[in-house]
Structure 1
Amino acid sequence: MPAAAAARAFAAGRTRLITQSFRARHIRRAPSLASILIAGLMAGLGAAPVAHAQDAAVQEAPARSSVAAEIRAQVGGKLRDFYGPRGFWPIWVEKNAIGPQADALLDLIDGAEADGLKPGSYDPRGLRKAIGDANASGDPRALASAELALSKSFAKLVADMRKPSKAVKMRYLDPEVEPRDPGPVDILRAAAVTSSFADYVEKAGWMSPFYMQLRKARAGYAKTWADLPDVGVPTGLKLKAGAKGPGVAALRERLGLTPGGSYDKALAAKVKAFQGDHGLTPDGIAGTQTVTALNRGPRYYLRALALNMERTRLLPGPWVRHVVVDAASARLWYYGEGKLDGTMKVVVGAKESQTPMMAGMIRYATLNPYWNVPSDLVERKIAPKILDGASLQKMNYEALSDWSANPQKLRQSSIDWQAVADGRQELRVRELPGRGNSMGRMKFMFPNDLGIYLHDTPSRDLFAKPARQFSNGCVRLEDAPRLGKWFFGKALATDSDKPEQHRPLPQAVPVYLTYLTAVPAKEGVSFLPDVYERDGGS
C-alpha cells in the first residue's frame, strides 16, 4: 500500500477506534468531565474536523507513528487505558514537536495558586525540561516521554480544579449532576475529542467560564487593590475634581496616593480604575456607592471572589449542554458545544422565599400549564377575597379536593373559607390556563419536592427592574419561547387548548441554580448585594 494511502487508512482507523471506545464505555452525564465527551465527540469528530485531522495525519503520520510506537513501549497504568484504544496516538505532539497546548498547560500550572492549588504539585520544572529535550532533539523516545508527562500532569490538574468545595452546599436532585472524581481516562478522552485541544487547554474548557473569569479577576485584584491602605473614607460626601479637605486626603490615602493635595487628575484616574474593577459606573466621582465600596476594604472583596469561585467550581464547563440561573444577579445563561448560546433576565425568589442552590435535569416542558397556588397565598390572598364576595370562577381559579393526580373539583359554597383564611384548613387551589395565568404559556420541569421550575410569565414589568427578587422561589423567564426553542431545536406549539400538554425533551438538560454575588463584568467584576445573606455563612 502506498505511504499516503497507509497514513490515510491509519487516520481513519484512529477515528473509528476513538468512536468505538467512547460508545463502548457507558458514562452518565454529570458535572464531571464525562458529560463533556458527548458534546465534545460531536464537535471534534464532525465531518470537517475529521477531514482536517486526516489531512494532517497524512503529513505527520511517519513521525507521529514513531512517537506512537514509543508511547506504546513506555505507557503504563491508567494512561494506557486512554492511549491503547486510540492506537497510542499522541495528543501533545504536533509536527514532530510538542504543540502549543503544552505552553497553555504550563501557564495554568504557574497560576494554580489562584485555584487554591500548589504549582509544584504538577511538576512544572520537570515538564519544561522534558519539553525542551524533546523539541531540541526531535527524538521519538523523548517526545513520547514528554507526551506522557504532560498527560499525567494535565489529568491531575483538571481533577484538582474540578474537585468541589466542602464550604459551598448545592443540593443535587439527580445522579447525572452529582459531582464525582473524574479519572485520567475520562479527562483525557474529553480533551481529545474537542475541536481544538490547544484552545480547550488555554481556556480550561473543563471549568465554567464564570470560574475562569473570576479566577482572572482574583489574580488581577490581588495585584492591583489588595495591598492598598485599609483606611476609612468619610461618608455623606460627593468628592469630585477640584475638591479639597479631609475627605479628599482620606480618599487619596485609601487609593495609595499621597494624603495631601486636591482631587486632581491622578486621583480621578484612580477612582475610575477602582470603579471599573468593582462593577461601578467609572465616572471618576466618589459618591455614595463608590465610598461605600471603598470602605468595605480589600479583604471583603478578596473573600467574595474566593467564595464565588468555589460556587462556580460546582458548575460544568461550556462543552456540557446546560443552563445556569444566578439568583443574585437574576440572570440565566445557556451553554452548548463549547460556547455561550444565550442569556436572559429572570425573576427569582424574594428574600423570604429564596430560590435555593440546587441542580437537576430538565426533562420535559408543559404547555398551557395550571398554576398550583401555594397554600400560604391561598390563605393570605384568595380566601379573604372570597369572604369579601369574589368568585373563584371569575378569578380563573378552581378548588380541588387533594394534591393527587386526579382530584375532584369542589364547589365554592362547600368550602369553609373562614377556616382557610385563619390557617385552620389547607386547601388546594389552582389557576386555570389562559393569557393571565401566572405560569404564562409554558414551564420547564426538573422534578423536585420544593416545586421549583422555570416558567413563562405575563408580568413583564418586573424585568425592567435592576433587582428582580420577587417570586415565591420559582424562576420567571424573560423569553421562555426562546429557551424552549433551544431545548427542543424548534418552536414549541400547542396541539389544542387542552391544559397541561407535556413535551419530553429530546435529551434531558442539566440546570444549575446558583448564587453569585461577584460576577464577571465588561470591565472587572460586579460585586452584587447579598440579598439572601448567604455570604457570611457559606
Structure 2
Amino acid sequence: MALGIVAGRLKSGLWAGLAFSGFLTGASPVFAQTEGLSPFVRALAEAVVDDPILSAHYRANGYEAHWTDADDADRRQALLTALSHAGDHGLPVARYDVAELVAAYHAAQTEGDRGRLEARMTRALLTYAHDLQSGALVPADVDAGIKREVVVVDPALNLQAFLTAADPVAWLSDLPPQSPEYAQLVKAKITLERLSSTNGWGAPVEAKALEPGQSGALVVALRDRLAAMGYLGLTATQDYDAAITRAVQAFQLDHGLEADGVADELTMAEINVAPAERLESVIVALERQRWMDMPRGKRHIWVNIPDFTAKIIDDGKVTFQTRSVVGKDVPDQRTPEFSDEMEYMVVNPSWSVPRSITVKEYLPMMQRNPGAAGHLQLIDRNGRAVSRANIDFAAYNARNFPYAMRQAPSDGNALGLVKFMFPNQYNIYLHDTPSKSLFAKEVRAFSHGCIRLADPFDFAHALLSRQSLAAEEEFDTTLKTGRETSVPFENHIPVHLVYFTAFPTAKGQMNYRRDVYGRDGRIFDALVEAGVAPVGVQG
C-alpha cells in the first residue's frame, strides 16, 4: 500500500523538509492473535537475528521501535544530524551512510520496510558510537608496533544510555574525546580541507635552499608561502630579511627542526608539504586521540616518538621536557606504542643485554673473536659470571646459546647512570646514555627500542621532587656510591609512549613531525580502505 507523508520533519541543514511516511504514526508493534508476529516485528527480528546484542535488546523490549514511530522524531533527527557531520571527525562515513538511510525512509512502503530500517538505524548508532569512542580501526591490525589497549564501551550499554538520555543531541556530542587537543584537531581538519580544495598555500617554492641575505623571485615565493601559512605578515620585500628569518624560525619550531632561520633543504621540503598531506596527518591524529580516550593521570610522562621528546605533564601543563633518542627504523627495534606506570628508577644500573641483541649482534662477533665485546660479562643459567676461555662459541647458534650478557655499572654503561622502569613485556624503559652526541641530531632514531634521555639527572630530580624536599641531594648521594640501587616512586606515574605527527600546542598552534616509522601512512591507508575520503589537491 502507498503511505502518505505525515511526520518527522527535521528542522535545519541537510535535513530541512525531510518527512517520513504515515506508518510512523502507528503504535508499537504487537503480536497478532492468529497470524504470529506482525510484519514489522518479523522483519526486525530477521534483520537482527545474526547480531546477538541487537537481537537480545529487541527481544527484551518487545520489539519496540526507537526510530520509526512518530514520537521518535527528536531522537531520529539527533542521530541523522550527527551522522551528517561524521566526516568532520575523519571517520569512514560510508559505514553509516546517512544519505542511504534518508533514501530508505523515502522509499519505505511496508511495515517490513520499516522493520528493516529500524535495525539499520540502530546499527548506525552503535557503529558511530564505537568509532567515535574507540576509533574506527583496531591498532594492532594496522601495525604490530602499536600495542595500545583501547577502551571499548559495551554496545548494549551505549544503546541503553542513548535511549534513556534526556537530551540525545548532548549524548551524541559527548561521544568523542572531550580534550582540547581533539577539538583543535577537528578545527585543523576543517581548515586543511578548505585549503586542499582551493589553492592551498600557493605554489611550492622552487628552490632547494635559501638563506638570509639572498633576494629575488625565489625569496618572494618563500615570502608568499610563509605568509599564506600564517607565519609572516604583509610585506613587499624581495629580500631574505630579518622578518623572513623570524618566520622561518617559527616554522622550524612548529615542525621539529633546528630553529636557525635558514631555509635549508630539509626546512624547504617541509615548507613545500601540501595541505592535503598535512590533512592526512591530522586525520590520523584524530584516530589516535580516540584510541587514547582515557584518563592519562594528573601527573604523567608523555614520550612522543616522532617528536623525539619526553615530557612530564602536571595538571595539563608541561613542567619538564628533554630530548630523546628512540628506536631505529628497522624491524624489532622500532619503539612500540603503549601505556604503563613507572614504578621505580635504578641508579648506577647494570645492563642486562636483551636476548635478541645477545644472539643477533654479540654472538656472531664472539664467534669471529672470542674476546669481542669484552666489556660485557657472560652469565650462566645460575646467574654466575663465567670465563670465555673455555667456551667454543662456534658450537652455538641463536637458538641454543646458553649464556646471557651483562654490563656492570659504570660511566660507560650502555644505560648510563640511571634508568626509569615501568616493567612491561616489551622490555622498554627510559634511560641515560654515554652517547650524548646523538641528541644534537634532528632525527634521533638510533636505539634498539628503549628511550634515551638527554637530561636524565634533571628528569630524575623532577620525578623525585614530589616525594622529597631534598630530591636532588638524595639522588646525587646515591649516584656517588657507584652501587646499583633501586629508588621506588611512592606514587606510580603513568607513562604514555605515543606517536603523533600532528598535534596542537597549548595555545592551539598546530605542530607537525615526520612519520619516522611510516606508521601514520599505514593508518591513513587503512582509514581510506575503511571509507575515509578526504578532499585533497596538490599545492
Which TM class, normalised by the smaller chain length? 0.5 to 0.7
- Is residue 469 from structure 1 mapped to residue 445 from structure 2 by the alignment? yes
Cα distance in structure 2, aligned partners of 1:298 and 1:503 = 48
Q: What are structure 2's unaligned runs of at least 5 residues?
A: 1-84, 94-127, 159-174, 230-234, 524-539
Task: Show CA shifts across 1:170-197 (max 9, x none).
Answer: 98989xx75254999xxxxxxxxxxxxx
- Is residue 166 from structure 1 mapped to residue 137 from structure 2 by the alignment? yes
SS at match of 2:520: coil
- Is residue 535 from structure 1 mapped to residue 520 from structure 2 by the alignment? yes
User: 1:349 is matched with which residue?
Assistant: 327
Change (3 A) 1:320 1:422: closer
| 2:302 corresponds to which of 318, 324, 332 | 324
Cα distance in structure 2, aligned partners of 1:331 and 1:254 = 26
User: 1:447 is matched with which residue?
Assistant: 423
Task: Show CA shifts across 1:77-100 (max 9, x none).
Answer: xxxxxxxxxxxxxxxxxxxxxxxx
User: 2:216 is matched with which residue?
Assistant: 243
Q: Is the 8 A contact 2:217 2:238 kept in 1?
A: no
The 5-angstrom pairing of residues 256-275 of structure 1 reads 265=237
TM-score in terms of structure 2 length: 0.53
- Is residue 407 from structure 1 mapped to residue 392 from structure 2 by the alignment? no
User: 2:435 is matched with which residue?
Assistant: 459
The 5-angstrom pairing of residues 37-436 of structure 1 reads 115=89, 163-166=134-137, 168-169=139-140, 179-181=151-153, 210-211=181-182, 213-222=184-193, 227-228=198-199, 234=206, 236=208, 243-244=216-217, 265=237, 279=254, 288-289=265-266, 292-293=269-270, 296-315=273-292, 316=294, 320-352=298-330, 353-379=333-359, 380-381=361-362, 384=365, 388=369, 390=371, 395-402=374-381, 407-419=383-395, 425=401, 427-436=403-412
Cα distance in structure 2, aligned partners of 1:524 and 1:454 = 28
Task: Show CA shifts across 1:263-320 (max 9, x none).
Answer: 9549999999799568368999976446534654321111111212322344456763
User: 1:8 is matched with which residue?
Assistant: none
More moved, 216-225 vs 278-287: 278-287
Deviation at 1:158, TM superposition (A): 12
SS at match of 1:512: strand
Q: Which amino acid aligns with 1:329?
A: D
More moved, 507-516 vs 380-389: 380-389
Cα distance in structure 2, aligned partners of 1:173 and 1:536 = 17
Cα distance in structure 2, aligned partners of 1:391 and 1:223 = 60
Cα distance in structure 1, aligned partners of 2:147 and 2:217 = 58
More moved, 343-352 vs 376-385: 376-385
Cα distance in structure 1, aligned partners of 2:226 and 2:490 = 56
Change (3 A) 1:466 1:249: closer
Task: Show CA shifts across 1:97-130 (max 9, x none).
Answer: xxxxxxxxxxxxxx99754599xxxxxxxxxxxx
- Is residue 515 from structure 1 mapped to residue 499 from structure 2 by the alignment? yes
Q: Is the 8 A contact 2:220 2:239 kept in 1?
A: no
Change (3 A) 1:509 1:255: closer
Q: Which amino acid aligns with 2:280?
A: R
Q: What are structure 1's unaligned runs of at least 5 residues?
A: 1-110, 119-156, 185-203, 258-262
Cα distance in structure 1, aligned partners of 2:493 and 2:153 = 21
Q: Is the 8 A contact 1:241 1:264 kept in 2?
A: no
SS at match of 1:413: coil
User: 2:105 is matched with which residue?
Assistant: none
SS at match of 1:467: coil
Deviation at 1:456, TM superposition (A): 2.0
Q: Which amino acid aligns with 1:357?
A: E
**Amino-acid identity (%):** 27
Q: Which amino acid aligns with 1:444?
A: F
**RMSD of the TM alignment (CA)?**
5.2
Deviation at 1:475, TM superposition (A): 0.8
User: 2:413 is matched with which residue?
Assistant: 437
- Is residue 479 from structure 1 mapped to residue 479 from structure 2 by the alignment? no
